[in-house]
Amino acid sequence: MFDYFIFEGEERAFMSSRSYLIVTASIGSGHMKAAQALAAALLDEEPQARVTVVDFTRRDTAWVTWFMKAVYLKMLHFVPNLYQLLYRFTGYRQGASPVQKLIAALTKRNMRALVRRYAADVVICTHPFPEGAASCLKESGEEQFFFATVLTDYSVHRMWFYPGVDAFFVATERMRRSLLKEGCAAAAVHSTGIPILPLASALFDRAAIRKKFCLSDVLPTILVMGGGLGLGDVAHSLEKLEDVAEELQILVVAGKNERLLAWVETYAARSHHVIRAWGYTDEVPELMAVAALLISKPGALTISEAWAMGVPLILHEPIPGPELENAMIASERGTAVWLGKGENLAALVTGLLGDESRLRAMREAACRASRPDAAKEIALFLQTAAARAD
């Protein structure tokens, strides 16, 4: 029998046996990247398996969550403080429960269609929206499948708590303890780290990367990112970096924000630094490999990848909610400096570039914090669990 591996609209046919359905959400890039990493790990461990990745916020997949994504993005742009209030409200049991039940009830039929279409033996969710739908479906008894959830932040929020989940995979031991306090069974909660594609600083030839991108091997290199959505006030960061007297080589990843990309390319012509710009790209690990510092909003996947690459972080402009907590975790572990409102970015960059011992300590802390094998660990667990259920 033939089936398909599907990711972001691409399909390829191959012999198949067991079916894994990974349901994610394209709200930022982190949830999608975790799903991609897990899909790759599952196929690496079980090449004959059927692995399907579906974006649950596509209009043709689940209209309700597509609409909620649109509202979320508008809210972040126009009224971020309102989003922060909603995040806090749903962080409490009495606030989260009605919202969870409503989302799950409205999207259950969409999840049922996916489970039946792909004959899923295992359903893995990397976002609470599809998790709620899968929970409602499984609790109804209409479909039987092993149900796993991968939390894609460094903090636990009430919206991730749904009944019927057979396995939770979390980033840290502290998160695992939080789930246990909420009544989750110890055998169902696993501290694995957040799944990322295989990364290790030692795997990259920095000289070859500089040659590939025509980069200087003399100028200090700063990587500036705004996440998959191109948020994080990248333009403001570049303007502040003009106050760094030393000439820098600044690499900017604008994500899917085409307006930002055009602005950066125009701005580069009048900067006293050397500025290069990319849109949404798979070359971020290579750019991290040659960077002395990464300036970014604190998305969990960005932090995880930076840790794997041993890159010191300057974190700023967090999206209200989980990114605030991500920034605190990264700072506590000594891998990042969290730039507060009103603090001088140029002075911080100048100070860090002039303090090699501090940069070395941050790189070493990043390596200690990294969990590069998270995707493989989760894949092996799911493979074993599915085999037991056969």
Tens-place pLDDT, residues 85-120: 555 545 545 434 777 788 888 899 999 999 999 999
pTM over 0.75: yes
Handedness of CA 51, 55, 59, 64 (dihedral sign): positive
Task: Supply 204's token pair.
Answer: 């990259």
Q: CA-to-CA distance for 202 and 191, rounded, in angstroms?
A: 25
Residue 312 contacts residue 366 (beta carbons within 8 Å) = yes
Parallel/antiparallel/unpaired status of strands 146-150 and 167-170: parallel
Phi–psi pair at 384, nearest 5 degrees: -65, -45
Instruction: Collect the ranges in the chain with pLDDT lower than 70.
Output: 1-16, 75-96, 227-232, 320
Compute the distance between CA of residue 266 and CA of residue 119 in angstroms, rounded to an integer. 50
Task: State the pLDDT at residue 77.
Answer: 63
pLDDT digits (tens, 9 = 90+) for 36-81: 999 999 999 999 999 999 999 999 998 888 888 887 777 666 655 5
Residue 146 · residue 386 · CB < 8 Å: yes
CATH 3.40.1580.10 fits 201-369, yes or no: no
d(CA 376, CA 390): 21
pLDDT at 1: 32
- Kindly give the interhelix angle for 356-369 and 300-309, rounded to the nearest 10 degrees: 110
Identify the architecture of domain 2-197+372-389 in CATH. 3-Layer(aba) Sandwich (3.40)
196/227 Cα distance (integer angstroms): 15
Residue 4 CB burial class (10 angstroms; 0-12, 13-18, ≥19): middle
How is the chain split into domains, by residue range?
Answer: 2-197+372-389, 201-369
110 vs 113: CA distance, rounded Å: 5
CATH topology match: 2-197+372-389 vs 201-369: yes
pLDDT of residue 78: 61
- Provide the mean pLDDT of the chain: 87
326's CB contacts (< 8 A; 6+ apart) are 153, 154, 155, 298, 299, 300, 303, 315, 318
Task: Give me the pLDDT at residue 350, please.
Answer: 97
